[in-house]
């Protein structure tokens, strides 16, 4: 047993992971779903936002007191969805399916704009999606990095970086 493990650790390149066709299809489905999730906030559409949440989702998973369940998340996100004080945009940059094509991770940049001042901040998000029994992808876990002030060049780079179609793996 030790010899097998040692050989795997000694030559990781020889055991590269090649995603299956199902995993690649799942990756692209989540890419599209992530774009749809972001659009729900851009459109200030609470119902559409809620449709992307797993009923038992956890947001802020790296924090001591995350939001648990759809109700808490909707309450915590109400202001962002409404866009009254802060506007939020994001898009996927990396989407990966593992060995189980029913679980996929996504991550990318997130741009916040203070409505009163017009100032921008740039952060990052990371989400884990699960395909439900009904075939619909929903966010199970979500978190992000605290946004930092963004100058006009970073804001422009954010907008230029958005890719609408799922890129090849």
What does the pLDDT read at residue 15? 47
Give the CA count within 13 Å in the CB-facing half-sphere of 41.
24
pLDDT at 168: 87
What pTM did the predictor assign? Answer: 0.86
Residue 57 lies in a domain: yes
Q: How far apart are CA 1 and CA 126, in angstroms?
A: 35
Mean pLDDT by 10 residues, the chain (169 residues): 39 53 91 97 97 97 94 96 96 90 94 97 98 96 96 98 91
Please enumerate in sequence order all residues whose Cβ is within 8 A of that of 134, keeping only pairs 6 or more positions apart, or say none.
none
49 Cβ contact partners less than 8 Å away, ≥ 6 residues apart: 37, 40, 41, 74, 77, 81
- Residue 130 lies in domain: 20-161
Model pLDDT, residue 160: 97
CATH number, domain at 90? 3.10.450.50
- Specify the pLDDT at position 19: 62
Q: How many domains does the chain have?
A: 1
Is residue 135 left, alpha or beta, with left meaning phi > 0 and alpha meaning psi from -120 to 50? left
Q: What pLDDT, on a 0 to 100 scale, did the predictor assign at position 18?
A: 55
Answer yes or no: is 96 within a domain. Answer: yes
Query: What pLDDT is stored for residue 99 in this prediction?
Result: 76
- The C-alpha atoms of residue 72 and residue 75 are separated, in whole angstroms, by 5
Listed in sequence order, the residues at least 6 apart from 80 whose beta carbon sits closer than 8 Å to its beta carbon are 41, 86, 88
* Residue 2 covered by a domain: no
Q: Minimal CA–CA distance to 52: which of 142, 169, 125?
A: 142
DSSP letter string over 83-120?
TSSEEEEE--SEEEE-SSTTEEEEEEEEEEEETTT--E
pLDDT of residue 23: 87
């Amino acid at each position: 047993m030790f010899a097998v493990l040692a050989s795997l650790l000694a030559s990781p390149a020889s055991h590269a992971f090649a995603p299956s066709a199902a995993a690649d299809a799942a990756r692209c489905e989540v890419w599209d779903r992530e774009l749809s999730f972001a659009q729900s906030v851009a459109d200030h559409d609470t119902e559409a936002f809620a449709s992307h949440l797993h009923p038992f989702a956890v947001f802020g998973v790296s924090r001591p007191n995350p939001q648990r369940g759809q109700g808490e998340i909707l309450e915590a996100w109400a202001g962002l969805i409404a866009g009254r004080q802060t506007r939020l945009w994001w898009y996927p940059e990396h989407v990966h399916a593992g060995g189980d094509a029913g679980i996929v991770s996504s991550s990318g940049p997130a741009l916040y704009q203070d409505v009163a001042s017009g100032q921008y901040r740039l952060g990052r998000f990371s989400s884990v999606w699960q395909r439900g029994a009904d075939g619909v992808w929903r966010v199970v876990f979500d978190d992000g990095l605290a946004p930092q002030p963004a100058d006009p060049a970073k804001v422009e780079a954010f907008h230029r970086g958005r890719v609408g179609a799922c890129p090849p793996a």
